[in-house]
Amino acid sequence: MAVERIDPETAHDRVYSGKALLVCAYDSEEKFRENHLEGGISLFELEARKSRIPKDRETIFYCA
Rounded to the nearest integer, the mean pLDDT of the chain is 92
Q: Is the distance from CB of 46 to CB of 23 less than 8 angstroms?
A: yes
The C-alpha angle 33, 18, 16, rounded to 5 degrees, equals: 60
3-class secondary structure, 22 = strand
Contacts of 12 (CB under 8 A, 6+ apart): 39
For residue 61, pLDDT over 90 is answered with yes
Please write the tens of the pLDDT for every residue from 17-39: 999 999 999 989 999 999 989 89
For residue 4, pLDDT over 90 is answered with no
The confidence band for 15, taking pLDDT boundaries of 50, 70 and 90, is very high
3-class secondary structure, 21 = strand
